[in-house]
Amino acid sequence: MAAIAVTQQTFKSEVLDADKPVLVDFWASWCGPCKMMGPVVEEIADERTDIKVCKVNIDDEQSLAEQFGVMSIPTFIVFKGGNIAAQTVGGQAKEALLQSLGL
């Protein structure tokens, strides 16, 4: 399943109220490392049915980026039960990303 684009309006229902862990990719279209990580994030979304994968465009959703203290992108945050469980910043190989997030 493809990564789900979330907004301020859908963040609670898609991420905080999810019944399984959610990997959220905070990104921007002008960010080189974000572009590099895009296919990796989509691959994770396609391969892993045990987690939900969402994307937040920080240019469109600045309030969400501020709310979660996103200072650099790409930032990846895992939410479990509505709480932050893990976080990492920067482009990484898929296996390294999953390992750093405990997935």
Active-site amino acid positions: 31, 34
Q: d(Cα 13, Cα 38) in Å, to the nearest integer?
A: 23
Please calculate the CA angle 52-60-53 and round it to the nearest 5 degrees.
10
3-state secondary structure of 63: helix
